[in-house]
Structure 1
Amino acid sequence: MKIAPTIVVTGATGNIGRSLVGRLLAEGAAVRALTRDPARAGLPDGVETLRADLTDEASLEPLLAGADALFLNLAAGGGQAAAAVTGAAVRAGIRRIVLNSSSSVTDTPADEENHIARMHAGVERAVRDSGLEWTFVRGANYATNTLAWAPSIRESGVVREAHPDAGGVPVHEGDLADVAAVALLDRTGAHLSRAYVVTGPEQKTMAEQVAEIGQAIGRPTRVERISEEAAAEAMARPGFPKEAALELVRLFGRSVGAPLFPVSDAVEKVTGHPARTFAQWAREHAADFS
């Protein structure tokens, strides 16, 4: 009889994490979720939910002990947590790390040229240097990023962006979770030392995404063009300064007429099912915009 693996999930209360926890439970795995506030986590029954500070290496080791694999999400603790978590994982006897990374990482010198690639590439190096088995899930632009438009769509039906015609391949959080789950549970070694660029199934401009949200909620929506400076100011937040936001806005500008990433078949190759469309995502999240 096979013993159910124990998987530690960081960022378990986030969009990807919640989907991943559900998928792992469905596959019969034991799930241990690390979070700042277990009382508010709201995770399914059967999940072991523990309070954790991902920057405190000493306190992490006992929380990881006895587990087989770790899902590491940069959003949980930030880049400064990478060395602490990987160090604790090594000492706790974790065998494998599946890292939620970014498609901005190219494994070339260009990774040092922008904030997002530089940050994720640094975490990837920490995981590689740990000596543990690893798989990187390099997500393209997350469909959930469009939730930032929700307040303005609810208020006026108008989204304000610097580059409405910027191209992307929005990926559903469920697909990112499914790829991660396969890598975490893999017993064949087929996904070891692999960096999967995970995208949605089709190119969509920002304007097209806004229109599909409008179709999902049954109300007209449109994009109003603003300056790059204004877009960066609106995007900036603690941990993501305006300078980094401006880099991202300008990156979007370079994707007008020339998308930054091609459509990837990683979801279907890894999971066996086709990637979910943005239209499906918009229907599932219609309540967030209504």
Structure 2
Amino acid sequence: MAQRILVTAATGTVGRHVTMQLAEAGAEVRALTRGPADLPGVQTVHGDLSVPDSLRTAVEGVEAVFLVWPFASADGLDAVLALAAEHARRVVYLSSAAIRENERRAEQLIEQSGLEWAVLRPHAFAANTLRWAEQIRAEGVVREPYGQAAMSLVHERDIARVAVRALTEDGHGGRVYELTGPQSLTQAEQVRVIGEVIRSPVRWEEASPEEARRRMLARGWPPEAVDGILHAQAAMTAGPAPVTTTVEEVTAAAASPFRSWVAEHSHAFRTAMRAARDASPPPGDGPVTNSV
């Protein structure tokens, strides 16, 4: 009988990949969403993690739970875990390498839940670079502080691959997996790679932290979040980011390089005119392919 697995945040950056990979592996996937979702071939159930009673239908009969806790506090998580433990025997929690206070508390609650658990601590998502897409499409430039901040960007699909193994296989109980991509790249180097992949120069233009802070506050970001991001980026300028081999050790396949991620998402960084040009072969030539 196929395993029945509940995926929370099933339409999110990582959750969507977990959902589809589980379905491809033959699991019976139950996707928790708060609104309409386009997840072909997957059972969707509506529920809200902040309202544990709304999850009763979602957890009924499941064997494992992929847990994303999207709140700034771990308050209420114990009730959700208690409900899950009535049915499931395993939980895989998406934490982060930053191990913020709410994430640390969440990990503690999960360890105390009585469930078999595994924790994923990914470093920066490659998808975070999509925040530059508008600047790149408009001007071919990224104006941000800390161009020398180094990150080992991890593909969200690779995070999902590890999650799927931990959800469906034995032997992952009590494990904490720190996940990175295969290479440390500064923010300025990330921008250069984007330009190379989309075949259009993109340059990094150093901005002051004060300027960046004003922009983020103007977009409505909470001051504490803005200050936390800038402080973390400043710390990343100290040297190369750590690189782990965990993705390959768990899945038997190497982590995807950032260049591959950009190739898959290149449409987000191209203007409509450039995308049309790149899609059309030169006269008298064969199809054009990206060099990645």
TM-score by structure 1 length? 0.88
Instruction: Summarize deviations over 1:105-137 as a string: whole Å, max 9, x none.
Output: 2xxxxxxxxxxx112112212211211111001
Q: Superposed, which structure 2 residues align to 1:26-37 within 5 Å?
A: 26-37=24-35
**Amino acid in structure 2 at the alignment position of 1:30:** E
- 1:271–1:33 distance in 2 versus 1, CA, 3 Å: same
Determine the structure 2 residue equivalent to 1:272: 252
**Amino acid in structure 2 at the alignment position of 1:221:** V
- 1:214–1:81 distance in 2 versus 1, CA, 3 Å: farther
Mapped partners of 1:75, 1:232: distance in 2: 23
**Amino acid in structure 2 at the alignment position of 1:193:** G
Contact 2:162 2:251 in 1 (8 A): yes
Determine the structure 2 residue equivalent to 1:182: 165
For the residue of structure 2 that corresponds to 1:273, the secondary structure is coil
Contact 2:72 2:102 in 1 (8 A): no
Bigger Rg, structure 1 or 2 = 2
5+ long unaligned stretches in structure 1: 106-116
**Amino acid in structure 1 at the alignment position of 2:92:** V
Mapped partners of 2:218, 2:136: distance in 1: 20
- 1:229–1:74 distance in 2 versus 1, CA, 3 Å: farther
Instruction: Summarize deviations over 1:157-215 as a string: whole Å, max 9, x none.
Output: 111211001001000001000000000001x3x21111100000000000111111111
Shift of 1:275: 0.4
Shift of 1:235: 4.1
**Amino acid in structure 2 at the alignment position of 1:8:** L
Structure 1 stretch displaced more, 269-278 or 243-252: 243-252
Contact 1:233 1:242 in 2 (8 A): no
Shift of 1:74: 2.5
State, as a whole percentage, how many aligned pairs show the same letter. 40
Determine the structure 2 residue equivalent to 1:263: 243
Shift of 1:75: 3.2
Q: Superposed, which structure 2 residues align to 1:141-290 within 5 Å?
A: 141-186=124-169, 188=170, 190-235=171-216, 241-259=222-240, 261-290=241-270
For the residue of structure 1 that corresponds to 2:119, the secondary structure is strand
**Amino acid in structure 2 at the alignment position of 1:71:** F
Alignment length, in residue pairs? 270
- 1:18–1:206 distance in 2 versus 1, CA, 3 Å: same
Determine the structure 2 residue equivalent to 1:108: none
For the residue of structure 2 that corresponds to 1:13, the secondary structure is coil
Q: Does 1:95 align with 2:89?
A: yes
Shift of 1:80: 4.4
